[in-house]
């Protein structure tokens, strides 16, 4: 993906850009799929997505930071706004 296509997708989903990038609200879940040689790596529970000039920075809820080249990003998955908290057990 390109920086422009990622920015367009995030803005279409209602995420607004701040000086720290795109903040993912707690009521939404974001996942990034990254291509590595021979496999696809999934970065889950994203809280921040920052589109820099030459790379993308992904930060998860544990405050772990991941840096990737744009050409390695295969896609993003965002859930619609829903309940803010997950319940333990089986939900319906």
Question: pLDDT of 7-27, one tens digit each?
Answer: 999 999 999 899 999 999 989
Both structure tokens of 10:
């995030």
- Looking at the DSSP bridge assignments, the partners of residue 21 are 18
- Token look-up 């309940």 returns 83
Residue 91: the pLDDT is 58
Quote the CA–CA distance of 46 and 68 in Å, as a whole number.
Answer: 14
- Domain-by-domain residue ranges, the chain? 3-78
Q: What is the dihedral of CA 55, 50, 2, 72, to 10 degrees?
A: 50
Q: Going by CATH, does the domain composed of 3-78 fall within 2.30.30?
A: yes
Q: Considering the entire predicted model, what is its pTM?
A: 0.83
**27-62 per-position pLDDT tens digit:** 999 999 999 888 999 999 999 999 999 999 999 999
């Amino acid at each position: 993906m390109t920086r422009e296509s990622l920015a367009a997708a995030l803005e279409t989903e209602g995420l607004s850009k701040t000086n720290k990038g795109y903040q993912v609200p707690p009521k939404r879940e974001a996942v990034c799929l990254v291509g590595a040689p021979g496999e696809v790596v999934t970065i889950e529970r994203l809280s921040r997505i920052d589109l820099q000039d030459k790379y993308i920075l992904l930060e998860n809820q544990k405050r772990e930071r991941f840096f990737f080249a744009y050409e390695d990003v295969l896609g993003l998955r965002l859930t619609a706004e829903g309940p803010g908290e997950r319940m333990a057990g089986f939900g319906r």
